[in-house]
Structure 1
């Protein structure tokens, strides 16, 4: 591949720029354009205003990654051409903030940071322990897919680094089950909030925001120089977690290089000298150190007018987004309530349909009964005719009986005569009968008197009728009530003019962040204990063992750094890497 030369013939170049989520094709680019102009063109194309965190990267002919120099023409830089004659540049994060939540303002800035950090973890360029990987994966799927959905198929290769998958005797289903469990806890977070939570966890990783360069000390020991937002550290061998030693930006006075030799002077006039593999690497190191130190000083100064305006706009945008999210949640709840009401009405409709079918069946049975009754009425009418005929016959029989009665009267008169004759005989019999009746009455009275001496026994029978009353219930559904919180009218008026109130708000957010951090550490500890029994010791890397030693010793990323001017809960303590004077640490470096 040929290097770029002069463009005196008036030709233009085609430049391809790859960001973390898009590809830009810039045609008709003047080869004599300055690096700053090309960078600004890309930033305008993607709508980025926080340009101080980013840069354009390319790989030179020695296969060394280099950053595009802003104050130098593009055709004067060693950018190789592609096979089609175009230039290919990568738009990446070049400088990292100390606190992502406080310093990142724009949504697109946060999104680009999220994509690059996520890709660095998956590529295993940024070491991430297993428990943190699972937690970060849960925030990643929340940012990508929203609230937990059982129908979403998770691709573990795009969520967890391969080294984590290899180190544990766990099936893909077991990993997915743990990610979904943590994903459920993130329900309700918007995409922006989930990405910010991801970055807040990622910034506490030991290798976050550190760019490493291979160097050698005076003893020709292979070392790595790490440049970060907190300072410069020296790393030995495969250990890129523990700096030996570390120098904060407040301790560094001057940085310079000549050819491959690089010098760092401290405030106590001590100097550390090392050699890089190539002079172009020294340029990159110096560029990173200057830019990172400038941001270090900028954070400790009042915000510029542009930054204040951006923060106000971002705050208004967050407020608008929160209002939209609240409105969306209310509409979501209202829709859920409507769906529940629909289901209830559907159930009631089914019940009414069943009742209608029962009524129709009852009506059908009633019609059948009416037909039977009509048939019975017809039969009854026929029976009435038969009975009428029988009544006529009975009347004729009555006439016959009357005639027979007259004859019987005549027989009666004959019998009366005979009766008078018998009265005399009857009178004598009556007298005899009365005498015997008196004797019988006396005997009966004696029997009754004897019977009264016995005690009668009564057996009463009580009957009780219990009525059961059936009462029907009435269902009253809960009426959905909605409460709309009116926006704070002072939100738009607070134009960040009161510095003291802004500091108080930052302190409040920092206190909340510390509480969340403690809760996060508890979550990570629980997850670590859960999967620790499944760890395969033979598959652990050197970084895993170093990280485990730090965890057992109660150390974290910030325990190896000394930042007396940073303040906050992340005030670093002294240990082997940062203890003592700068001169003592330089001696430690030279002795590696």
Structure 2
């Protein structure tokens, strides 16, 4: 009999439980998870677990789950997370579920300060995350305190400003109101479009040393390999795009990267642990493959997914437009009804004045009696108006008015001044392991199939492209300046402000650190 084991997989917004067999592979478990979640863009994701030494490790898909070096718990614990990041979320992420999983993971990274985010950007992002959760702001639904239990800002940002919880909520609410009309899914995408410009977004950092023994960071991301000095994870000093690298290998702790440029020497660095080295190699291979894939025409599967996503979005927009339309119709009918009720009250008031004057005249009484019947039938009409078309109601109202005017112009006694009423106006609503190892692990990176397309170096940040975002960030920055406590600045705050003053951003830095030929940059790395 085959032994079964219980497994718990935690995604960014759910917990899934499975029973697997002792022979189940990582791939089989992964496929079960993506099928349950409804995810088709599987190439970004992986399953993480805590190994026996307390390190987070990615589950190997080709091996049996139980043969891998994990803590033996019941159930076995895994986290379903994005392992690779897109270069441009708006261009590449297709399904809503993919965008949602990235949104939740990136948001968690920002709130826990694993991704540095300046205060003004953090507040703007918080307002998008509120729109993504609550939809449009509504005074009736979102009373004061509606954000009290929400985790919206990194603790660092809260500590650096002399603002109460209520004051933070007021600021975020103002920006939440600005996003009116934005679909929840679109709010998540807007969040990611701003977050992807943060310097630490999507970067995996590893401790390395160069030949001289200088301690540095190696950053592996969607665009290539970058080298950072130990006290600055925001601004890389040297960069190598994936299109410049043909082979990556390591033996024990020594990493060798062979550039495509035959004149350039090998790029050599040292990493402390074998299993970390395996992880670096795996991330390099996966990121390189996706980098190349993005520079080729879409596969048939991706084309189909994009077409389906467009259709679903169109359907959502239609449904939303219909709901908005219905809502406006209801509001207009309510407004008409109130207007008619008001006119009815005015008529009754005038009628009572007329009754007073006509009391002594028998003829007046007869007329009033008949008019009372009119008013009563008009009252019934107002009730009926909830379902009757507005034009019909309008005609009836005009007829009633004319007859009332006729009654009131008949002597005796002298009638009051003729009633002048404007037509009812219907306002439109707003439209708006082993540690020692002599084996060499190697990966050949194929690059011949594409042209050296390094368009990422020409990219603009969302704030540069989008005037609205630029305006919002400037307004927030000056708003927060008065409440800022400068004694609580962190090293990252200081580095970020230096970059801002120098006019640097993620993409300008990238362009700068890749300048010169490969050899010059390798020499520069050795000199660090």
TM-score > 0.5, shorter chain as reference: yes
Asked whether 1:216 is paired with 2:209, we answer: yes
The answer for the alignment partner of 2:409 in structure 1 is: none
- The partner residue of 1:145 within 134, 141, 161 is 134
Q: Residue 127 of structure 2: SS of its match in structure 1? A: helix
The answer for the alignment partner of 1:373 in structure 2 is: none
Asked whether 1:14 is paired with 2:6, we answer: yes
Asked whether 1:37 is paired with 2:28, we answer: yes
The answer for the alignment partner of 1:542 in structure 2 is: 491
- The partner residue of 1:188 within 181, 190, 194 is 181
Does the 8 Å contact 2:6/2:18 carry over to 1?
yes
Unaligned stretches of 5+ residues in structure 2: 366-415, 432-458
Post-superposition Cα deviations, 1:504-527, rounded to whole Å, max 9, x if no partner, equal xxxxxx999798524322321232
- The partner residue of 2:340 within 306, 326, 345 is 345
The answer for the alignment partner of 2:400 in structure 1 is: none
Return closer, same or farther for 1:58/1:359 CA change in 2, 3 Å cut-off: farther
Q: Residue 548 of structure 1: SS of its match in structure 2? A: helix
The answer for the alignment partner of 2:45 in structure 1 is: 54
Displaced runs of 4 or more, over 3 A: 345-367, 469-472, 478-482, 510-516
The answer for the alignment partner of 1:104 in structure 2 is: 93
Asked whether 1:521 is paired with 2:521, we answer: no
| CA-CA distance at 1:285 after TM superposition | 1.1
Q: Residue 273 of structure 1: SS of its match in structure 2? A: strand
The answer for the alignment partner of 1:589 in structure 2 is: 525
Asked whether 1:178 is paired with 2:171, we answer: yes
Does the 8 Å contact 1:137/1:179 carry over to 2?
yes
Unaligned stretches of 5+ residues in structure 1: 1-8, 371-468, 485-509, 562-572
Return closer, same or farther for 1:363/1:63 CA change in 2, 3 Å cut-off: farther
Return closer, same or farther for 1:353/1:69 CA change in 2, 3 Å cut-off: farther
Q: Structure 2: how far apart are the matches of 1:127 and 1:261? A: 30
Return closer, same or farther for 1:356/1:221 CA change in 2, 3 Å cut-off: farther
| CA-CA distance at 1:293 after TM superposition | 0.7
Q: Structure 1: how far apart are the matches of 2:246 and 2:471? A: 40
Return closer, same or farther for 1:79/1:247 CA change in 2, 3 Å cut-off: same
Q: Structure 2: how far apart are the matches of 1:126 and 1:67? A: 20
Does the 8 Å contact 1:156/1:176 carry over to 2?
no
Q: Structure 1: how far apart are the matches of 2:25 and 2:312? A: 34
Return closer, same or farther for 1:240/1:41 CA change in 2, 3 Å cut-off: same
- The partner residue of 1:242 within 235, 242, 249 is 235
Asked whether 1:264 is paired with 2:257, we answer: yes
| CA-CA distance at 1:163 after TM superposition | 0.5
The answer for the alignment partner of 1:25 in structure 2 is: 17
| CA-CA distance at 1:238 after TM superposition | 3.1
Q: Structure 2: how far apart are the matches of 1:167 and 1:471? A: 69
Matches within 5 A, 1:66-105: 66-82=57-73, 85-105=74-94
Q: Structure 1: how far apart are the matches of 2:257 and 2:285? A: 12
Q: Structure 1: how far apart are the matches of 2:485 and 2:478? A: 14
Asked whether 1:478 is paired with 2:415, we answer: no
Q: Residue 216 of structure 2: SS of its match in structure 1? A: strand
Return closer, same or farther for 1:361/1:198 CA change in 2, 3 Å cut-off: farther
The answer for the alignment partner of 2:153 in structure 1 is: 160
Return closer, same or farther for 1:238/1:314 CA change in 2, 3 Å cut-off: same
Post-superposition Cα deviations, 1:60-93, rounded to whole Å, max 9, x if no partner, equal 11111111111222122112122xx221100001
Post-superposition Cα deviations, 1:303-339, rounded to whole Å, max 9, x if no partner, equal 1111111111111111111111111221122122122
Does the 8 Å contact 1:244/1:588 carry over to 2?
no
Q: Residue 243 of structure 2: SS of its match in structure 1? A: coil
Higher mean alpha-carbon deviation, 333-342 vs 30-39, is at 333-342
Does the 8 Å contact 1:262/1:276 carry over to 2?
yes
Q: Residue 492 of structure 2: SS of its match in structure 1? A: helix
**Alignment RMSD:** 2.8
TM-score, normalised to structure 2, is 0.78
Q: Structure 2: how far apart are the matches of 1:579 and 1:197? A: 31
Return closer, same or farther for 1:323/1:354 CA change in 2, 3 Å cut-off: same
Does the 8 Å contact 2:8/2:77 carry over to 1?
yes
The answer for the alignment partner of 2:500 in structure 1 is: 551
Does the 8 Å contact 1:156/1:172 carry over to 2?
no
Q: Structure 1: how far apart are the matches of 2:155 and 2:7? A: 34
The answer for the alignment partner of 1:451 in structure 2 is: none
Q: Structure 2: how far apart are the matches of 1:322 and 1:515? A: 28
Post-superposition Cα deviations, 1:328-367, rounded to whole Å, max 9, x if no partner, equal 2211221221222233234345545656777888899999
Higher mean alpha-carbon deviation, 581-590 vs 471-480, is at 471-480
Q: Residue 250 of structure 1: SS of its match in structure 2? A: helix
Q: Residue 466 of structure 2: SS of its match in structure 1? A: helix
Higher mean alpha-carbon deviation, 129-138 vs 471-480, is at 471-480
Asked whether 1:285 is paired with 2:260, we answer: no
Does the 8 Å contact 2:148/2:165 carry over to 1?
no
Does the 8 Å contact 2:193/2:462 carry over to 1?
no
Does the 8 Å contact 1:17/1:89 carry over to 2?
yes
Return closer, same or farther for 1:279/1:332 CA change in 2, 3 Å cut-off: same
Return closer, same or farther for 1:238/1:184 CA change in 2, 3 Å cut-off: same
The answer for the alignment partner of 1:126 in structure 2 is: 115
Q: Residue 106 of structure 2: SS of its match in structure 1? A: helix
The answer for the alignment partner of 1:297 in structure 2 is: 292
| CA-CA distance at 1:97 after TM superposition | 0.5
Q: Structure 2: how far apart are the matches of 1:340 and 1:222? A: 71
Return closer, same or farther for 1:532/1:511 CA change in 2, 3 Å cut-off: closer
Larger Rg belongs to: 1
